[in-house]
Structure 1
Amino acid sequence: MTRTRLSTLVALAALGAGAGFLAQIAFAAAGLPKYRPEYPLALSLLFIAGIVVAFALPIRRATRAEVRTRIDPFHATRVVLLAKASSLAGALLTGASLGLLVELLTRSGGLNTDSLLRTLAVLGGSIAVVAAGLVGEWLCTVPPRDDDPDADRVAPGSLES
């Protein structure tokens, strides 16, 4: 498995930004109330970010300790996949939050401070999920073996001891 590329994260953020912006415009055009993110969403995103890092830390400890312990490769693979999925979903949510923020800042009729704070809170939580996913991938990277000819290339999730 390869690490998550920055270009993938940027593309998903751009897709999410367009979708968030267009959704707000579509809601307004249809006469429906616009989406207003809630604070529990931001707290949930922070909780998810913490969970991702908490799952990846034992793998890092086991692979970098003086006496390496055996890790279930299926568990390690699941943790790496969780971290990768978190970074991708977080990038999409970051983009959607940015789209909501741009629509909020560019609309006429004045700025609603409560909506601005809510959107910024969700944006912060989304960025935390992206960061936690990338850190989780990094924590699950296995150090190269001494006898490995491809010591420069280390794929995350390849936990052969």
Structure 2
Amino acid sequence: MRRTSPVALVGIAIAGAAIGWLLQVGLTASGAPSFQPPPTLYSVLFILAFGLILLGRPVRRLIRGTARRPVDPFYAMRVLVLAKASSLAGALLVGAAVAFLGYAVSRTGTFAVPAFWPDLLTGLGALALCVAGLVVEWWCRIPPPDPAERPDRSLEQR
């Protein structure tokens, strides 16, 4: 599996911002109130980021050689896939939260809107999820083989 590209994360965040902005414009154009993230959203984002770090620690210990017991390879693979998915979902939600925040501030011209803190906390929670995903993905990488441990290839070529 390839590591998550920063270009992909920025592209996904831009897509999330476009979707979030269009959602806010569509809601207010139809006469409905604009979307305000509930407290459970940003709470769960922070909890997911913390849980992902906890899930990745055994794999990190195994790779560093400080593990007390072996880790199931399927567990390590699942943690890696969850980390990649978390970084992508976090980037999407960061973009959407920035759009929500920008829309709320642009409508009133001030930061003293009721949606400011929930939007900001959602953005921070999504950023924490994205960063946790990238960190755990980095923890799960296998180091390259040591050239001193490989057999000499000059004998194979003869």
TM-score (normalised: structure 2): 0.87
> For residue 30 of structure 1, what is the aligned residue in structure 2?
30
Instruction: Provide the aligned length of Structure 1 versus Structure 2.
Output: 149
Contact kept in structure 1, 2:61 and 2:67, CA below 8 Å: no
> For residue 21 of structure 1, what is the aligned residue in structure 2?
21
Structure 2 runs not aligned, ≥5 long: 152-158
Structure 1 runs not aligned, ≥5 long: 150-161
Residues 10-35 of structure 1 show CA distances to partners (whole Å, capped at 9, x for unaligned) of 00000000110111010000011110
Q: Provide the rounded CA distance (Å) in 1 between the counterparts of 2:109 and 2:11.
A: 31
> For residue 52 of structure 1, what is the aligned residue in structure 2?
52
Q: Provide the rounded CA distance (Å) in 2 between the counterparts of 1:116 and 1:104.
A: 7
> For residue 156 of structure 2, what is the aligned residue in structure 1?
none
Structure 1 residues 67 and 47, CA gap change in structure 2 (3 angstroms): closer
> For residue 118 of structure 2, what is the aligned residue in structure 1?
118
Q: Provide the rounded CA distance (Å) in 2 between the counterparts of 1:64 and 1:50.
A: 21
Contact kept in structure 2, 1:104 and 1:116, CA below 8 Å: yes
Tell me how far 1:108 sits from its aligned partner. 4.2
> For residue 3 of structure 2, what is the aligned residue in structure 1?
3
> For residue 154 of structure 1, what is the aligned residue in structure 2?
none
- Percent identity for Structure 1 against Structure 2: 40
TM-score (normalised: structure 1): 0.85
Higher-Rg structure is 2
The DSSP-based 3-state class of the residue aligned with 2:35 is: coil
